[in-house]
A and B are shown apart, each in its own frame.
Chain A
Amino acid sequence: MKNKFCLLLVLAMITFLNVSAYAQSKVIKGVIKDASGLPIPGANVLIKGTQKGTSSDMDGSYTISVSSGSVLIYSFLGFKNEEITVRESAVYNVVLKEDNNSLEEVVVVGYGVRKKKDLTGSIVSVSSEVIDSRPVQNAVQAMQGKAAGVDISSNERPGTVGKVTIRGSRSISASNSPLYVVDGVPINNSKPLAGALGKSVTDVSDSNAGGIDFLNPNDIESIDVLKDASATAIYGSRGANGVIIVTTKKGKNGKFTLNYSTALTTEEINENAPMMSAGEYIDFRRWARYYSNPSAFPKGDAPTIANDELIFLKSADPSAWANIAKGWEGGTWDGSKVATTDWAKFVTRTGITQQHTVAVSGGTEKMKGYGSFGYTGNTGVLKGQSFKRYNGVANVDITATDWFSMGANLNTSYSINEYGQSNIGRSAVSSTTGIYNSARLNLPYAVPYDSNGNRIDNPGGDNTIRTVIDEDKYSQDQRVTVRAFGSFYSQVDLGKLIPVLDGLKYRLNFGPDLTSYRNGVFLDARSAARSGTSFASLIKAQTISYTLDNLLFYNKTFRKHDLGFTFLQSKTGYQYEDSMMAANDVKNPENKWNALTPSNVTLSNYSTNIIESGLLSYMGRVTYGYDNKYLLTASGRYDGASQLADGKKWDFFPSASLAWNMNQESFLSDVSWIDQLKLRVGFGVTGNAAVDPYSTQPPLAGIVYPNGSGLVNNATLGNPDLGWEKTKQINYGIDFSFANSRISGTLEYYTSDTTDLLLRRSVPTPTGYRDTFENVGETEGEGVELTLNTVNVKAKDFEWSSNLSFSYQQSSIVALANGKFDDINNNLFIGQPQNVLYGYKSNGIWKPEDATEMAKFNANGAGFSFGNARPQDQNGDYKIDANNDRVIIGSADPKYIVGLTNTFRYKNVELSVFVYGRMGYLYNTSGENSGAKGSQRSIDYYTDNNTNAEYQKPIYSAGTGDSFFPILGYRDGDFLKIRNISLGYNFTNEMAEKAGVSKLRLYFQVMNPGMIYNKVKWMDFDTQSTASNRGFTLGLNVEL
């Protein structure tokens, strides 16, 4: 392998030699090394003033023929350039110094790049090193906690992604999803499937990251997040929620590499909320029966066999009863003798994820290329859930002449998501979020098999509780996605053609984006989601979108003035088509969803649909810099969107920002510890038209009535005046770097003001409609973001560095549809954040000592009893009523988000610990219904013997016993969690070389080892469920 690689290099060099052969010159050679004396392969050697050059080989050696007196420029990414004038000598050994100044890093700003030090807007970047530092399945996971102001929730289902919000939610009904731009092309991240699946399917991923999850994280060079409006306004109508710009890896000039990285992860589900044991549950239901009818049932602590036979449905499931009967052996009750069935263990397993990426890259002056193949295979921790993704990437950039270059980038993926137990086609009584939830619905005293070893369909004898034994065999929901995303450009440097146009370039970008989706569902008649008959459905959806940009760039420097112009004309088209068919009672399970033919089944549903939308844009931007001290960026964008009303389709989105590089001023030039100090201020207006197409003219709803097909008005009132939602934002920022970059970071403060909010608003039904889309009201928000990178300790062999990202955000509603009036039905309140909990506030539980108070309520018809949840009576009239006693209980939006990575490096060993947290919000855990008909997690509940309990007394019911039980569910959602601990080992070059490679890194990682802080121990507020996955990863990166 290595030999072939060298051969390739030699061939490349011969090419260069041939090119430069006619120059009358002498041959010089040398070795390029870094400060520690290690050779640098692939370093560039360029003859100044020409395009001629070479690059170093694997040993850092180079050979080049030059004429005496020429100047050679030695360069390598991450090192400072070195220049040498060729004299007599034939050997020039060069030592390149590392360039620690991150300020020279290039940041993608949208329709171009800028050096970090020249930025005027608020942009946070995540580099490939950060992305590669821990194994993740998609780019969204990689960003989590690494960028201040970007909040990403966790979603652990294989093949799905969390929700991304940048600087909090501003919009109410329009999308809060950021715009994703991959290699310069905005990608389609519209939710597919809305048409085919309709509203009946609730588990279609409603995350808003749709789009970049298809990328292999190993193919990503950098992610730049545009946060403030002065930066995002360049994307005008789509910039309101921030812009995430992904740049994929490209070949680099002179450096040919072959990379292989792999990781193996094992995971187990970690449950924080254990279920009651059989003995505990039996007591619980006995109490529940007693409280539901004290005259008919004995107290929970005074059980009788006859009563147990009745309440545990002896006749319906003799096997479960046989288990309970063990507790009665010997005549008195001993709950510990009843065996507990751990139903979760029938649906869980060790999850295994394998990731492999092979990537090659390389390039010459004229041509650069990158190719990769990636595979991710994930067997989920829940039976029946798995995810496989194959990625292939190829890109090439060719500079054909000095005035024309062209590039093509194709990013493809093929993924198979076995979603596990499906909710599509569910007909069983109890609805669950999946197989794990279904398992936890089963009763702990019930047993899976009867005495003959047959599966018991309804363990415990309750018709609404179905067994999960073999459920993974009886329920399949397979989602296959093929996506091809291209980015093509050609660029003409007009200055090279017509000298007077020096600095003027024209560029054409074309970005097609194709997605094909297939969802097949088959539920066997024996599935827990069905009963009696089988079900099959097939959904196919196809999305075609494209972006076509015409761009003109003009950049000119004269003396201390840097001037730049960008002009854009852009067009985006989107087309979505789907088809769906479904049938009950597919006789042959082998047919799955593949034989929905007239001879086999009668379709129970079918549909086809198409959705089209378009966006047209014109944009201009000017950048001006004076002496690297004062920087100005101003832009304006004019956008038209098809889904808005006629006459409201077009709008204008301006922005301007200023930066002052203070460290360039003479008064700071003596202060050696300041590397950078930059003040920024920016202003911008961005828009949001992210409502569904056809919202201004809702289609009539089709009805199938036995008399024939009919139509009714859409329950959503069409709004012919629907226009843009607009956000104005002002951003103040300080970028700093002190003490030779030992301390660096950014501090930002912003205020935002969103007007003409797009709101899907419920309306009084006497209008004949249920809701409508309207531009209403205004929200304002502010926030602080701090990114801080510090090198805390730096010794010869040891380094400790920290990376902190912290954000604070606060938003409130200023006005709504009709001014400063609360809108209770839509849960929106003036002066409050958008997501508030509104209702009756908890005053704990009614206890015997509250008898007199309780009696006053009951005198007004309340019907409270001891052990019931006790709502607060706000106006003190001893009546709990909706008009007077509902209040705002708290905000469900986190105020603080923290991500902290500490990295310790000793020689070749690197240890890093990543901590993530959200704070300052209430979470509605919904309380415990305590009907005691279904299963129950272990809780502290009220009984006559335990009056100081956390939750109300159980009251037996198929629904809920206590009408006010939800008020006991509001909890402080703060948490600080160790997401992962990673230990890496970088082999020394000598060791690597012995293994025949140039770089070798091995790492080990622990995921979700535990919480540092959380008030509610039984919840993981990161995954927003009671469970999260915990596991280990072993990974390897090899570079040839």
Chain B
Amino acid sequence: MKKYKTLYINLMFISALVLSTSCSDDFLDEKLTTAYTKDYYKTEAGIQALAVGTYYQSFALEFALEVPLTATQSGTDEFHAGGDPSNHIWNSYASGLNSFVTVSNANTVAANTNWDNLYVAIGNANQLIESATAIVSNNDAIKKRALGEGYFLRAFNYLKLVSQYGGVPLKLDLSTTVEVEFKRATAEEVFTQIIADFTQAYDLLDNAGGSAKITKDAAAHYLAKAYLSRASEINDSWNSATKTADLQKVVTLSDEVIAHHPLAPNYVDLWNFTAPDGANEKLSEIILAGQFNSSQLNTGSNWQHLYFLSTYDQLPEMKRNLAGGRPFSRLAPTYFTYDVFDKINDSRFWKSFQTKSIVNNKSTGSDYVNGDLGIIYIMNAPSDTRFAKTKNTNYLIPGGVKKIPSVYVQYAADNVGLMADVRFPSLSKYMDGSRIDLTSQRGSRDIILARSADTYLIAAEAKVRLAKQGAATFADALPYINAVRNRGAYKAGENRAAYADGSAAWTAAGQAGIPISYIPQNSYYESNNIAATTAATNLNITSISALPAEDMAVITKLGYGSDYDRMLCLVLNERTRELCGEFHRWQDLSRTKTLVARAKAYNIEAALNVQDFHVLRPIPQTFLDGIYANGRPLTAAEKDAMQNPGY
């Protein structure tokens, strides 16, 4: 017995020892097996994956919320406040637009959202440049492309930053430890960097991959845009040395891009979305597009279909439906936008706005049936005397056959106008019927970031500016402008009452049995009150002294006299006609220092508050609160000093 006891004890100690020693050090080694660490960036596959991720960060992320809207469309001459106030502060420039943006609800874009997103994207671009530089690879298709994409993406985001905030901290490498000491570089330093980076991208990249990939042409387009921005009025205090050369480079680069990217034959081709990744997303005109498709598994999705819609569903005989869209009603067009088009001869207005919807919720006891016209917007001329009231219910329009539940008139004798109420023709460029149900926010349309019509107008503006420098004539700008105008004119035989938008992509399943409100028809004839015709129209401008009447109205209202001002005004007007709602406007007005005058003239809410200092955005308070100078946080006075003036 005693022997066994000793044996037991020994066994026990041995087992205890075994158990203890089994706890060797590698027990505490942390192995991350479910995800990659930065070591992966040392491989070719790793940098390619990082490039794709940075594409997402730069081209897709922001389109799932309202940053594109608030940064580039709110508070301009193109759009004013719609029905929903979530982000009205960005439109009105009221006192709540500050280093903290006054939050109205969960959708309100904070002061730091855009800033932070852009810098995080720059961080990834820096990582891409660093990793693609370090990688040992003889495969130019991978190494040179990744490097080129890295430089492009960094410059792309810095261009947005400098356009919004002016000079910003210039960070060209990736932090490995917490850094808190940051200073704002000058706008000049930031532009120098942007141009250097785009130039590198231009040199490194080729033209493979189409609009889904960053190409040499995309680099050329944005390089032109960067040169044009540097040569714009907002930088006039320091840009004189580079101005002429910059503008000449804009023209050269633009010509190169234009040659590779012919315009789509019909303006509506760009917007006629019938299926994710359909024909309209593969047009030669498109230089670069943020990619979206119908996969529910994508990290990003395009929500821009929500924001420009009028609340059609609150009107009598109407209800919300997939084809009609989910109207967030953030922004409504201004009378500048309505009137800058020649609505008889320029097809682009009718191809950009929805002016008719059909009854889809016939109420009991009414004379309507589903499919009758339910809403019509009469986009008439000021000289039209047919209408007494702006808002008409159950109204038979002159020459009509049946009453229409809701009739809104742009120019009526009561002079109320379409900006008094929250009903307006909706910008239809983002309408998306491919969503899974009527409340789904996940849209699957690509977002066009750059197309050659924009390049034409960049070149045109450069010519106007060169003319001012004495290096060209103002008339040199006309061929570029006319190229996009002529495309927007009606072709012979074209049905002017035809309308198409992305609603056509709707499926019966997603519609869930709810009747649709979409009709492929516009109010061209009801509005213009002319006889039906299929003749071609002509929008060609033949002389700088014979500018279109719509442009003359703006020039007169804004009080421009010099050729330069008149021609720049024409270019900016043409940009609205061609690129309305395509997320360029605020930068265009800010850099040309026309924001205040134009917002005061056309944006009723902004007019009350907009001031010169609003050409730059407030530096986010979170940045000012988070950084140090000389080893300590900034004082209130130092924060005030670092803030853009006026905020």
Contacts and interface: CB of A to CB of B under 8 A. Distances in A.
Contacts of B623: 764-766
Given A571-B23, A694-B32, A699-B35, A770 B120 contact: yes
Contacts of B640: 883
A713 B127 contact: yes
A614 B94 contact: no
Interface stretch (A600-608, A729-737, A988-996): A600-608
A1026 interface: no
Contact of B626 (A584, A825, A960): A825
Contacts of A602: 296
B45 to A, nearest CB: 10
Interface stretch (A160-168, A346-354, A641-649): A641-649
A525 interface: yes
Contact of A585 (B20, B179, B436): B436
A609 B94 CA distance: 47
A701 interface: yes
A101 interface: no
B95 A862 contact: yes
Interface in B415-473: 436-441
A977 B413 CA distance: 67
B470 to A, nearest CB: 40
A603 B438 CA distance: 19
B273 to A, nearest CB: 15
B102 A765 contact: no
Interface stretch (B136-144, B260-268, B287-295, B351-359): B287-295
Interface residues of A, number: 96
Contacts of A710: 49-56
A705 to B, nearest CB: 4
Given A463-B320, A824-B625, A769 B52 contact: no
A550 B621 contact: no
B36 A704 contact: no
A204 to B, nearest CB: 19
A508 B179 CA distance: 49
A598 interface: no
B40 interface: yes
A407 interface: no
A764 B626 contact: yes
Contacts of A563: none
B645 to A, nearest CB: 13
Given A710-B49, A768-B124, A762 B29 contact: no
Interface string B567-604: 00000000000000000000000000000000000000
Contacts of B112: 765
A883 B436 contact: no
A313 B318 CA distance: 13
A497 interface: yes
Contact of A711 (B46, B103, B104): B46
A825 B116 CA distance: 14
A768 B316 contact: no
B385 interface: no
A707 B84 contact: no
B254 interface: no
Contacts of A715: 120
Contact of A315 (B5, B30, B316): B316
Interface stretch (A132-140, A270-278, A743-751, A815-823): A815-823
Contacts of A957: 85, 104
Given A706-B212, A717-B178, A768 B126 contact: yes
Contacts of A762: 622, 626
B150 interface: no
Interface residues on B, range: 35 or more
Interface string A281-317: 0000000000000000000000000000000010110
A653 B77 CA distance: 67
A831 interface: no
Interface stretch (B189-197, B231-239, B628-636): B628-636
A705 B54 CA distance: 10
Of A700, A766, A822, which is in contact with the most chain B CB atoms at under 10 Å from its CB? A766
B256 to A, nearest CB: 25
Contacts of A609: 34
Given A492-B9, A705-B60, A709-B52, A569 B23 contact: yes
A550 B169 contact: no
Contacts of B83: 958
A703 B12 contact: no
Given A642-B29, A711-B49, A882-B621, A700 B35 contact: yes
Given A707-B212, A713-B127, A958-B85, A769 B57 contact: no
Output the residue of B19, B20, B83, B626 with the most chain A CB within 10 A: B626
Interface string A868-892: 0000000000000111100000000
Interface centre among B30, B99, B105, B623 (most CB of A within 10 A): B30
A640 B98 contact: no
A704 B297 CA distance: 7
B338 interface: no
A764 B182 contact: yes
A513 interface: no
B369 interface: no
B178 A429 contact: no
Given A616-B27, A703-B53, A764 B120 contact: no
B119 interface: yes
B395 interface: no
A293 to B, nearest CB: 10
A291 to B, nearest CB: 13
B122 A700 contact: no
B188 interface: no
A257 to B, nearest CB: 35
B194 to A, nearest CB: 16
Contacts of B627: 764
Interface string A625-643: 0000000000000001111
B315 A315 contact: yes
A532 B437 contact: yes
Nearest to A452: B364
Contact of B631 (A550, A642, A765, A818): A818
A712 B54 contact: yes
Contact of A768 (B5, B123, B298, B624): B123
A769 B8 CA distance: 59
Contacts of A709: 49, 52
Given A703-B299, A706-B291, A531 B437 contact: yes
A604 B298 CA distance: 9
A960 B105 contact: yes
B174 interface: yes
Given A643-B30, A711-B36, A712-B57, A768 B299 contact: no
A427 interface: yes
Contacts of B115: 765
Interface of B: 5, 8-9, 12, 16, 19-20, 22-23, 27-38, 40, 46, 49-57, 60, 83-86, 94-96, 98-100, 102-108, 112, 115-116, 119-120, 122-124, 126-127, 169, 171, 174-180, 182, 212-213, 277, 291-293, 295-300, 313-316, 320, 322, 363, 436-441, 509-510, 512, 609, 621-628, 631-633, 636, 639-640, 643
29 contacts: A316-B314, A427-B439, A494-B9, A525-B512, A531-B438, A531-B439, A550-B16, A571-B27, A585-B509, A697-B37, A699-B35, A706-B293, A707-B52, A709-B52, A710-B51, A710-B53, A712-B50, A712-B124, A713-B38, A764-B627, A766-B169, A766-B171, A768-B126, A770-B120, A825-B626, A883-B640, A958-B105, A959-B104, A960-B104
| A-B residue pairs, 5 tightest by C-beta | A768-B123, A710-B52, A959-B104, A532-B437, A699-B35
Interface of A: 313, 315-316, 318, 403, 427-429, 431, 461, 463, 492, 494, 497-498, 506, 508, 525, 530-533, 548, 550, 569, 571, 573, 584-585, 602-606, 609-610, 612-614, 616, 640-643, 649, 693-694, 696-697, 699-713, 715, 717, 761-770, 772, 774, 817-818, 821-822, 824-825, 861-863, 881-884, 957-960, 963
